[in-house]
Amino acid sequence: MILTLLTDYGHADEFVGVCHAVARGILPPDVPVVDISHGVPRHDVRHGALTLRNALAYAPVGVHVAVVDPQVGTERRAVAVRCGDGRVLVGPDNGLLSLAWDRLGGAAEAIDVSRSRHRLEPVSATFHGRDLFVPVAAHLAAGAEFRDAGEPLAIEELQVLSLPEPRLEDGAALAHALLVDGYGNVSLDLGHEQMMALGLTIGTRAEVTCGNCAAAATVVQTFADVPAGEMLVYEDAWGAVAVAVNRGDAAAALGVTRDAEVRLAPAG
């Protein structure tokens, strides 16, 4: 068993530390707590959802808290979702968890934990990580019964995120900047098959366009396959086609913002 945390709380303040402190007051000492990331851009539910989906595939089965929660303190539901593969996800019902359960065997069962017996009273209006999500998750990780932690909730009631859809047309891919990491590497909503369909095999040249910015890139396996400062197209560590600049910042070079349309085509 493991408890994992993903939030947009950052590391400047004590929010993450207090969540750990609360968890440790509930968990047996042999249940580890792992920070997946607290660097999700503030209030960016989609970024958090993609990060959670990507990361949990590499985590042991456990209870996984995610908090990116611009509607904290309002009537939005707080939920726990049991996935087909046995994991339990805990967080606000704003779509944040939905990409993860899609990837992890689907949502098998859900409960509304907004008034869970495991919450810390009084629940503040602004810090549900501390008062609601972490205590509920820690009790579940410590062995509490899933159905006992909240009220039954129909799976169909859960909020889900929708992602933009990439298109292939005229020999080019019209894709989107799904994620930009801290280095400025840009993950697109394209996979290996679409690259093959465009003829963008290792060693070929590609043209990358975003708004008024266009750049030439080489399709390679890894950063060091091009000189420093040059742009590359590669399959990133999560299996997505991505654009980067070796030792540089592709998002800045291309003026890419979140969900921006990025056109990718063979050069010439």
d(CA 204, CA 201): 6
d(CA 252, CA 266): 22
- Site mask for its own copies (CB under 8 A), range 190-229, x = bound: -------------------------------xxxxx----
Q: Is 198 left (phi over 0), alpha (psi -120 to 50) or beta?
A: alpha
For its own copies, the binding residue among 35, 44, 109, 261 (CB under 8 A) is 35
Q: Which pair of tokens denotes residue 82?
A: 């049991």
Residue of 156, 158, 251 whose CA lies nearest to 211: 251
- Site mask for its own copies (CB under 8 A), range 130-149, x = bound: xx------------------
Q: What is the nearest approach in angstroms of its own copies to the Cβ of residue 43?
A: 6
Binding piece for its own copies, criterion CB under 8 A, among 58-66, 100-108, 191-199, 207-215:
58-66
- Give per-residue burial for 18-56: e unless 16+ CB within 10 Å, then b: ebbebbeebbeeebebeebbbbbeeebbbbbbbbbbbbb
d(CA 260, CA 179): 10
Toward its own copies, which CB reaches closer, 93 or 174?
93
Q: What is the nearest approach in angstroms of its own copies to the Cβ of residue 136?
A: 15
Q: Which residues bind its own copies (CB under 8 A)?
A: 2, 4, 6, 10-14, 16-18, 20-22, 24-25, 29-39, 42-43, 51, 54-56, 58-60, 70-74, 120, 124-127, 130-131, 181-183, 221-225, 234-237, 247
